[in-house]
Structure 1
Amino acid sequence: MVEIKTDRALDAMREAGRVVGEALATVRASAAVGVTLRELDAVAREVLRAAGADSPFLGYRPGFAGTPFPAVICTSVNDAVVHGIPTDYRLRDGDLVSVDCGARLGGWTGDAAVSFIVGTPRPADLRMIETAERALAAGIAAAVVGARIGDIAHAIGTVARGAGYGLMEGFGGHGIGRAMHEDPHVPNDGCPGRGMRLRHGMALAIEPMLQAGGRDQYRTAPDGWTLCTADGSRAAHVEHTVAITDAGPRILTIR
């Protein structure tokens, strides 16, 4: 079931989204060679605490997970695409890091992700991140009243596939609101003109997940959470929570 939000509810989601944006910006500014992923999680926890928000990630346990998620951010490094658990791993020069963060404030949720390079970047990594951001922008631009879910999927897939990147098989964005994951599923590739029609008041988390090797397959790491590229190539993940409105797409997770 897809919940149609009131304008007041979308405004409340924007406040949760501000916290997410602040957390991601602060984590990115704190990421440096030698910093541990666990330390980045502590940075995000402090931003949420100061804002009076809590985390929809912490303790989350979907059906595929053997254990609850132990952190407030996902930190996916190099060949990890999504769901990376913050550990004592110390960031190294040239690491490609994707950070996913959620916040719950006043009963409403925001969810976003960013990818960046620590230290000296590889040109190929910069191209992939830039392509992921263009794919996200294309998906957001397609998220207009009267369009369909397939239009968002097609926009993302056109950018990513056109640049030669793989898209994580079976994964994509989702509805969001009082819960982090709601209907509908938002694929990262698909046919235009198909799927649910978009209405004013819908809220979607749109999130391209690109794989440099051009393949869509992935593997699950021994921790049971981290999903990595099957071929060991690098990956990038970017995301925004977006409201569908009569005035056009409204990004709710910009800082």
Structure 2
Amino acid sequence: MSPLLIKHHACFGKQRVRLSSLSLSGEVLSRRRGTIDPSPDVLVSRLQDLLSNTPRGNLGMDQIKLIFGSPWVRYACLPWQDALNKDIDWENYARIVLSQQYGVSADNWRVRVSAGDYGKPRVAAAIEEGLYQTIAELCRSSKLKLAEVEPLFTTAANQHRRAMKYPEHALMVVETSHAIVGFYRENAWQGVIALPIQLEAGETTRSLSAIVREAAVLSGQFLPEHIYLTSSDITLSSIKSADFDFEWLGAAHPQFIAGEVHA
């Protein structure tokens, strides 16, 4: 007998989309993935294929959470602004910062700004509005309630926040072709940046060290000693470096583990 209600999680990267389906008790009913090109049309088509072959609850009230990795999300850290009191004010400010940072108009981006403590920087994330609307319509037509949309960096940071105990550190979310690096200091994220990467075989530690340095330079941040690593694409549990103290946290999301696929 099928469960009454199923919760689905979809995660989008540059080269593949993954879909995990769980019962209310947490039992994994299905894990699937499909290869994609870095094209919005292909991404949506592949998600549609996966949804058509995934288990569904008997009540017809299933929910889905969407997690967007690189290159679909653009990030920026916003300095605190006393004059901004409403979410829409922060989002408009974020559009200006994102447009300046990426050198293109942000008018067609869907922008969200994380909540934060008074006086602290806030993290802004943006995806193409057209891509979001197309996927949202696909979910509606598939009779799925869109429960949440989240950037991969936020997913990973929330997943591992209790494990990241050092007051100054970096969090690196490693994907197959990108790394998202956030720099944490003074109880807030001070900079977040996504970079294209190519990990050299046999030179993983050196490659990761170079990525941290490049991210720090491009985001204008100081290099911390402690670097937390997380990934749902590769395992990085034995990284040792003379320059940084790397610590492996595990998968960026518990439902997406490197190499694991269930029919």
Larger Rg: 2
Instruction: Provide the TM-score with structure 1 as the length reference.
Output: 0.27
Normalised by the length of structure 2, the TM-score is 0.27
The answer to which structure has the higher strand fraction is 2
Larger RCO, structures 1/2 (Cα 8 Å, 6+ apart): 1
